[in-house]
Amino acid sequence: MRYSKKLLDKFAEEYGLSLNKTAEKLGVSQAFISKVNKGDKEFSEELALKLADALHLKESDVLLNLRASKATTERERAIWVKLAMSSAATLAIITVSTKAVIIDCVQCILC
């Protein structure tokens, strides 16, 4: 499934909108939304970022995944996917490290 279609489905589900209402809400034509829904078109970066904001998604992940979906060769797609996964892994490491520091600090305060 194309990444724009995933964003479209998530947005429509989150806000309980039909495709026609989704098109209206996003300021695009119903024909364009229909093509995205079929997997024939991808969102622009600007529109993907608008959806990222509405869905509370990390902007860099959305852009990396969108770019991976727009790749024209398997090699190119693999590189973009690797970058997206690397970005997610880095965030996970930072999150775990931050939690460990907070726990250590709380334990020090309680001692």
95: confidence class by pLDDT, cuts 50, 70, 90:
very low
Task: Indicate the average pLDDT of the chain.
Answer: 82
Euclidean distance between CA atoms 29 and 43, whole angstroms: 12
pLDDT score for 1: 62
Query: With 70 as the cut, is the pLDDT of residue 98 above it?
Result: no
In order of 1, 30, 35, 43, 52, the CA distances from 65 in angstroms are 12, 24, 19, 11, 12
What percent of the chain stands above pLDDT 70?
A: 77
Please count the structural domains in the chain: 1
- Looking up residue 54, the CATH number of its domain turns out to be 1.10.260
pLDDT 10s digits, 54-89: 999 989 889 888 888 888 898 988 888 888 777 665
Domain that holds residue 73: 3-110
pTM exceeds cut of 0.75: no
